[in-house]
Amino acid sequence: MEEIDYSKIGLKAGLEIHQQLDTGKLFSRTPSLLRSDKPDYVVSRRLHAVAGEEGEIDSAVEHEAALDKEFIYEGYDDTISLVELDESPPQSLDQDALEETIKIALLLNCEIYPVSQIMRKTVIDGSNTSGFQRTVLIGHDGFVETSLGKVGIESVALEEDAARIISKDGKETRYRLDRLGIPLVEVATFPDLKNAEHVKETALKLGEILRAGKAKRGIGTIRQDVNISIKGHDRVEIKGFQDPKMMIKTVNLEIERQQKDLKEKKKEGGVRNALSDGITEFLRPIPGRARMYPETDLELLRIGRHDINDAKRNLPKLKSEKRNELKKFGLSEELMNLILADGEMSEEFNILMKVYDGNADLVGKMVSLWRNELTKKSGKKVEEVKQVLGERELEKILEAVKSRDLEEGEVKRVMGDVLSGIEIEEAIKIEKVDDNELEEKIRKLIKEKPGLRENAYMGLVMKEMKGKIDSKKAMELVKKVLEE
């Protein structure tokens, strides 16, 4: 690819990023939970033409298309409420989601609107049971620092995510209601991006800020669109980036494509889909501005000085800041990456270091590496392991280390014991009995009382050793000796 002179071609580029929040749903008190099990029921609905109003475009074509369609919505008895079914007015805005959004707006140096109205943005593809998406402006006129200077943030809005499409077949489109209503933060930059590398850098930077707090992780939880045009060409919106690494190539290829357009006297903009090889494909024309009207079922949203101050006091740390902090403890790069992979882990690390600051490497391994290994080995779920080996449990273990009741070298073994169901206090008490010594004891017992069953020997061993041994190990040895 030739070197592109971005200022000469008059590149205008901006980003629009949507990030799902890890809180309850925005307008109902149901969990933001995507499900793959069989839905409990389906509901069928149609959308109909709404009397158009002067100056506000309802794309007639889109409407016509929607009129004839049947929309099927899949729901669950326990996690879908009447709000998602469009059978009840929205409940008040989720306070956690609001707080998170205020924090993001503050991290982006935005001004916060003291009074804002929740709006209905007309959506007639059936992805919202109501026929609209609720959205509210939170912040405006901020910036993010990049290597090429400040990139302006036009707006930060809080929206509800749409229902998830399951299948589309002729006149029937099937959606699942689980995603409908999950809070989404939408950040839009001004068209300040200077080149392809800058687009990528800014996207990563914004991603880091959006994910500093309670953000959902995984495929589909962040959606990044790039708006791009060169001088003389209409705006093109590129959607569906799976990987920011592809942004440079995609942006450059789009510039080339627009240059080719101009040579052929074409300049139409449009919405294009990013494919994995950096090529984009045409999806649809740029839609007219959606009709927006107020959500009359809810009060105006007021964000007071104290809400903003509360948020300021609790601003999450960015990953880069956390990394700098971890560096001070002299951790290895590898261990730092493991700890930083999970926002909770680095917090736990900091808390546990306050309990025992004698060995940062040990504490780091406890919250990350060892817990991960034990999860894998036990076949248990991550959440379960975090429950059994949570912050409080790790704290108890470290307190034992601090008071010299437990050796550092025993910590991993104790964690394993606790996960296998042994009480922490017991696990800490267990002295390391040499395996050979134990095997000798077992041989002696079997010799003294031959012909008993495995469990009977186990009982005798445990009684003799009084909880000083790992029962699993003992069982293995009993079996081993009996099988000889």
Partner 1 sequence: MTELNFSAGDEVKLRLAHREIEGRVLETGEKDIILLKLKSGYNIGIKKENILGSRIVKKYQEGMENFEMPATNKKKKNVGLIVTGGTIAAKLDSKTGGVHWLTDVGEFSKFYPEIFNIANVKKIEVPFMKASESMDSDDWKKIAKTCEKMLDDPEISGVIITHGTDFLGYTAAALSFMLRDLGKPVVLTYSQRSIDRASSDASMNLMCSAHMACSEAAEVMLVGHGSTSDDYCYAMQGSKVRKMHSSRRDAFKAINTEPIAKIWSDGKIEFLKEYRKRDDSRKVILDAEFEDKVALLKFYPGQEPEILDYYALKFKGLVIEVSGLGHLPVSETGDRNWIPRLKKHIKSGLIVCAAAQTIYGRLDPKVYSNGRELEDAGVIFLEDMLPETALVKLGWVLGHKAFKGNVREKMLQNFSGELNSKIGLEGFD
Tokens of 87: 């059978």
Residue among 181 and 364 whose Cβ is closer to partner 1: 181
Is residue 158 within 8 Å of residue 208, measured between CB atoms? no
Phi then psi for residue 440, to 5 deg, are -60, -45
Number of residues that bind partner 1 (CB under 8 A): 48
Is residue 116 within 8 Å of residue 139, measured between CB atoms? no
Binding residue for partner 1 (CB under 8 A) from 76, 132, 241, 356? 132
Query: What is d(CA 41, CA 85) in angstroms, rounded to the nearest whole number?
Result: 11
Is position 163 an interface residue for partner 1 (rule: CB under 8 A)? no
Binding residue for partner 1 (CB under 8 A) from 40, 44, 64, 423? 44
How remote is the C-alpha of 292 from its chain's centroid? 29
CB of 180 vs partner 1, minimal distance in Å: 13
Is position 61 an interface residue for partner 1 (rule: CB under 8 A)? no
Residue among 109 and 273 whose Cβ is closer to partner 1: 109
Question: How are beta strands 270-274 and 236-239 bridged, if at all?
Answer: parallel
Place of tokens 């501005």: 289
Q: Coil, strand, or helix at residue 434?
A: coil
Residue among 66 and 366 whose Cβ is closer to partner 1: 66
Query: What is d(CA 260, CA 65) in angstroms, rounded to the nearest whole number?
Result: 33
Residue among 63 and 317 whose Cβ is closer to partner 1: 63
CA dist 49 to 52, 68, 398, Å? 8, 10, 65
Q: Which residues, numbered 65-84, are part of the site for partner 1 (CB under 8 A)?
A: 66, 82
Applying CB under 8 A, the span of 15-23, 86-94, 345-353, 425-433 interacting with partner 1 comes to: 86-94
CB of 33 vs partner 1, minimal distance in Å: 21
Eight-class DSSP state of 348: H
Phi then psi for residue 366, to 5 deg, are -60, -45
Applying CB under 8 A, the span of 124-132, 311-319, 321-329, 446-454 interacting with partner 1 comes to: 124-132
CB of 64 vs partner 1, minimal distance in Å: 13
Is position 88 an interface residue for partner 1 (rule: CB under 8 A)? yes
Binding residue for partner 1 (CB under 8 A) from 22, 84, 86, 470? 86
**453: number of CA atoms within 13 Å, CB side?**
1
Place of tokens 């980003």: 15
Is position 46 an interface residue for partner 1 (rule: CB under 8 A)? yes
How remote is the C-alpha of 437 from its chain's centroid? 50
Q: Which residues, numbered 262-301, are part of the site for partner 1 (CB under 8 A)?
A: 289-294, 296, 300
CB of 129 vs partner 1, minimal distance in Å: 6
List of residues contacting partner 1 (CB under 8 A): 43-51, 53-56, 66, 82, 85-89, 113-117, 119-122, 124, 129-132, 135-137, 155, 157, 289-294, 296, 300, 302
